[in-house]
Amino acid sequence: MAAAALVLAASLGACSTGGQTGSTGTGAGPTEVTFSYLWSGNEAKVVEEVIAAFNASQDKVKVIGVSSPDFQKQLASMSASEGSFDISDHFGNGVGAWASKGVIAPLDEYIAADKVNMGDFLPAAVKQMTYDGKIYSMPVGISAFQLLYNKTLFAEAGISTPPKTAEELAADIAKLTKVDGSGNITQLGLGNPDLGTTITTLGYAFGGTWDGPDNNTPTPNDPANVAALDFYKQNVIDKYGADNVTKFTAGLGQYMSAQDPFYTGKVAMVIDGNWQAVNIPKTMPNLDWGVTSIPVPAAKPELAGTTQLTVSTLFIPSNSKHKKEAFEFVNYMTSGQGAAMFTKGIGSLPPRTSLLSDPSYASIPQFSAWLTALQSPKVHALGSGAYASQYAADLAEALKSVTDGSATAQAALDSVANKAKQYG
**What is the tens place of the pLDDT at every residue in 346-355?**
889 999 999 9
The CATH number of the domain covering residues in 2-143+312-380: 3.40.190.10
- pLDDT for 14: 36
Distance from C-alpha of 87 to C-alpha of 307, rounded to nearest angstrom: 30
Full-model pTM:
0.88
Which of helix, strand or coil describes residue 86? coil
Q: Which of 347, 421, 353 is nearest to 387 (CA)?
A: 421
Mean pLDDT rounded to a whole number for the chain: 92
72-86 tens-digit pLDDT: 887 788 888 888 999
Would the CATH topology of 2-143+312-380 be identical to that of 144-308+386-418? Answer: yes
* Domain ranges within the chain, ordered by starting residue: 2-143+312-380, 144-308+386-418
Q: What is the CATH number of domain 144-308+386-418?
A: 3.40.190.10
Q: What is the pLDDT of residue 332?
A: 97
Q: Name the 3-class secondary structure at 419.
A: helix
Task: Give the distance from CA 210 to its chain's centroid.
Answer: 15
pLDDT beyond 50 at 399: yes
Instruction: Quote the DSSP letter at residue 404.
Output: T
DSSP character for 114?
T
pLDDT greater than 60 at residue 16: no
pLDDT score, position 80: 86
Q: Is the pLDDT of residue 19 over 60?
A: no
Instruction: Please compute the mean of the pLDDT values over residues 53-62 and round it to a whole number.
Output: 97
Yes or no: say if 239 and 312 are a contact pair by the CB < 8 Å rule.
Answer: no
pLDDT at 230: 98
Per-position DSSP letters for 224-283, written without gaps between them = HHHHHHHHHIIIIIIHH-HHHHHHHHHTPPPTTSTT-TTTTTSEEEEEEETTHHHHHHHH
- 265: left (phi > 0), else alpha (psi -120 to 50), else beta? left
